[in-house]
Structure 1
Amino acid sequence: MSDTGTAGERAARGGDGGGAALVEAALGFVFPAALRAAALARVADHLPEGPRAPAELAAATGTDPAALTRVLRLLATRGLFGEDEQGRFRLEAAGQALRSDVPGSVRDAILMITDRTFWLPAGRMDHCLNTGESVFEEIFPQPFFDHFAQDAETAAVFHDGMAAMSGVENGPIAHAYDFPKTGTVVDVGGGQGGFLAAVLRAAPGLDGVLYDRTHVLAGHQLGDDEALAGRWSTAEGDFFADVPRGDILVLKRILHDWQDESCVGLLRACRRALAPGGRILVVDAVIAPDNRPHQAKDLDLLMMTSLVGRERTYDDFRTLLTAAGLRLTRVVPTPTVLSIVEAQALDDASGTDGS
């Protein structure tokens, strides 16, 4: 008779102290490897109309039929695909976002997260544990963002992946905050402009500035939305040195990339650019002081291995903001894993401390 139940349940019944569950957890890396392989082959794109036999699906994707069967068999255990009695595979509802041609697709996000720039350093986490330093430069010739600036193909994977990852969260985050009716919002390090577009749609009285490096702005998508016509512009530069002036300055998924000293310098640049009565919105995960699972705790280790930054707690953010001449006024939760940490200049009398 075969054993049933989760690894944890089996371990409890077997009295092995949880060893079986730990072994199963150690095998967990195989799932994202299979997920990446399926995403690269665009398997989901070939299953919108129903199940297909492995040989047919392999011909359409340029893959080996036997290997494809084995990959999809594992992914089916996670509910992304399903296999019928004839051995044909279908795409389940949980796997629809693997398609590249549907709204809310996360295919590019999966390819970014499982790219070698994250995958290889994660496998060397012991280096970080022993030294307290990122292992990225042990594997690649340059720091993370310098590597991207010199490698257009890898940079495209990153920026397309960030756009896809943000695509499912931008709208809910933008609607979670009560933006002013008029003024200028500057999206600092705003990438392809997805979040700025969501803000401008949520607050039709605002104008926006998308601020980033030249090679990043080349891929922006603001011009694709006729509803935003005449309400946005782009600005190129180094956000550590200078930031365009605005009433609302947004830093979405930016501070977690950097060490505290660099974050303070960036926040000071934003403080200098802030209009009187303005606000800085740090949109990042806020790690809660408990042991509940949270995506930020996973991302925190990617920041540790590949970059030099970290995810932060409420107190961490308050310390950074204070050092930059800012005051944390409140933290606004959103329906996503991110929160909005709102700050104002210390010499701005409006607002109250959110602590």
Structure 2
Amino acid sequence: MILSDSKPSKIQSLLTPIQWVHAYWVSRCIYVIAKLGIADLLKDGSQHCDALAAATNTHSDSLYRVLRSLAGLGIFAEIQPRCFELTPLADCLQSNVPGSIRDMAIFRGEEHYYKSWGDLMYSLQTGKSAFEYLYNMDLFEYNEQNPLQGEIFDRAMTSSKDEYTEFLKAYDFSSIGTLVDVGGGKGSFLSAVLEANPTMTGILFDQPEVIDRAKNSHQFLNNRCQLVGGSFFEGIPEGGDAYVLKHIIQDWDDRRSCAILRNCYQAMGKYARLLVIDFVLPPANEPSESKFIDVNMLVMCPGGCIRTEAEFRELFKSVGFKLNKVIPTQSEVSILEGVKITS
């Protein structure tokens, strides 16, 4: 079937064709400004570019040219010659504020990430991850071997805390006795769920080196959470009433996704629930960030992809789960609830 829709998408309506071509200039400028912490330096008021350059060990004239360019987009404002202040668009580049994107901007702009996207053509020609081609390992192995990048990854993955409120609104976690967060990183999501449900206990499960970082994060409540290290390709802790996989399945091809889901199935009791929190691709020409996240998975992950509801349903069925319901949230992410198929 040929799909046609003459209506411009939301994304198309925001940018002119030449701006499509130049878009990466903007993202690189945002990356360096986020990396330098410029927005944090301006949180108490405007500063002259010379002072900002001195604080960040940068060249004042060059920093000015970058800030002037961003100010032209409403990101910062030049209120006097060479003197800048925050704007509502720049607020999110601060650290530790609601809606902050600083950690994500840094993560997306780091050399290994940027170079991989620079080799997008390789992925198009081969169907394989450009990241693996460049670094001869997957992103998770890279983070393990480069602890600083692992920390940057952890911070970026926990920077979307506003999403957690939407998940808690969309799904009733109150009936869950023990929640197992599979691949839960440093536990920020699990911590949010535990805080909202005082009688719940949790099990945080991730790679041993990630769990080691989680032990120092001080995010867990009154010893209500066990921290367990291991590989979800080898086995998953038993004893949970629900098992959550947040942005995990998107990282892997069907074979490895099935391996993770199968290990969940084996760990789960008869009445336990599976909760996959992930993007679900919308149809046809509907604009969606998830479609670009899908390309990102192509570039960065070993067979990773964003799936349609039908593809999730088939994936669940292949390992013995029924896709019980798909629960939308106010974000583009949905909660897919699975239960064991019973004869």
What TM-score, normalized to structure 2? Answer: 0.90
2:31 to 29, 36, 44: 36
> Structure 1: which amino acid aligns with 2:228?
A
Percent of aligned pairs sharing the same letter: 34
Residues 168-203 of structure 1 deviation map (CA, whole Å, 9 limit, x = unaligned): 312221232012434110000000101101111222
Which residue among 125, 130, 134 is the counterpart of 2:129? 134
1:214 maps to a residue whose letter is: P
Would you say 1:102 and 2:97 are equivalent positions?
yes
Cα pair distance change 1:197/1:101, threshold 3 Å: closer
> Partner residue of 2:236?
243
Q: Structure 2 CA distance, aligned partners of 1:97 and 1:23?
A: 26
Aligned length: 329
1:337 deviates by 2.2
Paired with 2:173 and 2:232, the residues of 1 have a C-alpha distance of 23
Paired residue type of 2:49:
P
Change in 2 beyond 3 A, CA 1:22/1:95: same
2:293 — aligned with what? 299
Which residue does the alignment assign to 2:273?
279
* CA distance in 2: counterparts of 1:310 and 1:295, whole angstroms: 13
Change over 3 Å in CA distance of 1:61–1:101 after alignment to 2: farther
Instruction: Give me the whole-angstrom Cα distance separating, in 2, the residues matched to 1:234 and 1:253.
Output: 19
For residues 174-193 of structure 1, what are the structure 2 equivalents within 5 Å?
174-193=168-187
Deviates more, 1:71-80 or 1:246-255: 71-80
Partner of 2:108: 113
- State the distance in 1 between where 2:233 and 2:92 align: 36
Q: Which residue of 1 aligns with 2:5?
A: none
Q: Higher Cα Rg: structure 1 or 2? A: 1
The structure-2 alpha-carbon separation of the partners of 1:281 and 1:346, relative to structure 1 and needing over 3 Å to count, comes to same
Change (3 A) 1:61 1:303: same
Specify every segment of 5 or more residues in structure 1 that has no aligned partner in the other structure, as ranges: 1-7, 9-17, 349-355
Alignment of 1:28-107 (within 5 A): 28-107=23-102
**How big is the alpha-carbon RMSD for the aligned residues of Structure 1 and Structure 2?**
2.0
What SS is found at the alignment partner of 1:219? helix
In the TM superposition, residue 233 of structure 1 has moved relative to its aligned partner by: 1.0
- Change over 3 Å in CA distance of 1:206–1:272 after alignment to 2: same
What amino acid is aligned across from residue 30 of structure 1 in structure 2? W
SS class of match (1:282): strand
Contact 1:287–1:314 under 8 Å retained in 2: yes
- How many Å separate the matches in 1 of 2:290 and 2:48? 39
- AA at the equivalent of 2:143: F
Q: Do the aligned residues in 2 keep the contact of 1:104 with 1:168 (CA within 8 Å)? A: yes
TM-superposed CA distance for 1:262, in Å, is 0.5
* 1:231 maps onto 2:224 in alignment: yes
Q: What one-letter code is carried by the residue in structure 2 that aligns with 1:229?
A: N
Taking the aligned partners of 2:112 and 2:74, their CA distance within structure 1 comes to 28
Task: For residue 186 of structure 2, give the secondary structure of its aligned residue in structure 1.
Answer: coil
What is the CA distance between 1:225 and its match in structure 2? 4.7
Give SS of 1:84's match: strand
Structure 1 Cα separation of the partners of residues 22 and 141 of structure 2: 33
What's 1:332 paired with? 327
CA distance in 1, matches of 2:89, 2:229: 39
Match of 2:317 among 303, 313, 322: 322
2:194 counterpart (200, 208, 214): 200
Give 2:161's aligned residue. 167
Aligned counterparts of 2:37 and 2:166: Cα–Cα separation in 1: 28
8 Å CA contact 1:39, 1:98 repeated in 2: yes
Check the 8 A contact 2:188/2:219 in 1, yes or no: no
Contact 1:80–1:91 under 8 Å retained in 2? yes
1:269 positional shift: 0.5
Unaligned segments of structure 2, at least 5 residues:
1-7
Q: CA deviation at 1:223?
A: 6.3
CA contact (8 A) 1:243 1:270 kept: yes
8 Å Cα contact 1:45-1:99 kept in structure 2? yes
Alpha-carbon offset, residue 222 of structure 1? 8.4
TM-score, scaled relative to structure 1 = 0.88
Residues of 2 paired with 1:267 and 1:134: CA distance?
22
Bigger relative contact order (CA 8 A; separation at least 6): 2
Distance 1:178 1:162 in 2: 23
Q: Which residue does 2:4 correspond to in 1?
A: none
Deviation at 1:104, TM superposition (A): 4.2
| Partner secondary structure for residue 303 of structure 1 | helix
